[in-house]
Structure formats: C-alpha cells, structure tokens
Amino acid sequence: MNQSADHVDAGTVQEKLLESLKVALGEAEGLLRSAANATGDQAAELRARAVDSLRATRESLYDTQESLLRQGKKAIREADDNVHDNPWQAVAAVGVVGLLLGLLISRR
C-alpha cells in the first residue's frame, strides 16, 4: 500500500478528535456554569461564547468526518485497483484468510 504525505493514521485522528472534544466541551461547560452565576450582559456574553465554542466543535467534527470518509474511499479505491492489477494474489490472500478462519473455528 502506498503511503502519501496527506495520509493520517485513523488512531491518531481519533485521539486528536477526542482530545479536542474534551477541551471544547470542558470550555463550554465552564462558560455555561459561569453564565449561570452571572447576570445581565455578562451572562449573555458567556452564553454566546459557549454557543460559539460548541459550534466550532461541531464544525471540527464535520471536518474530521469528511477527512475520514475521504481517506476511507481512497483506501477502498487503492484496494480495488490492487485487486484488479493482481487478481491471483487477491484470490490467494482470500484463500489463506479463509483457511486460517476455518482452522480457528475448528479448534473451538
């Protein structure tokens, strides 16, 4: 499989996404708590900042989802091209996997 400069490990993306979510949700939670104790213009400003933080988090999620979908489609295209370029190797690989699964199942 070819690795390009824009290829990012899915585990790394997931870790970054989870960390970003934790930070953003923690920030929004803190802002909403502060807004609950505040009054007037200060409360409205804190609520607006919390909403902005949540909006940015949602956009980040959409961007990450789009990126992962692009990477998944690219991997599928590469696998499809590889199978078309080397059909007998693909048949042999599937046979080996089937044999290994059969051995594992028969042991139980």
Locate the domains of the chain by residue range.
Answer: 10-107
Q: How far is CA 36 from CA 5, 55, 105, in A?
A: 46, 20, 58
CA distance 32 to 57: 15
Nearest to 25 by CA among 64, 54, 49, 48: 54
Instruction: Provide the whole-model pTM.
Output: 0.55
What is residue 43's three-state secondary structure? helix
Over residues 15-61, the pLDDT tens digits come to 777 788 888 888 888 877 787 777 788 878 878 888 888 888 888 88
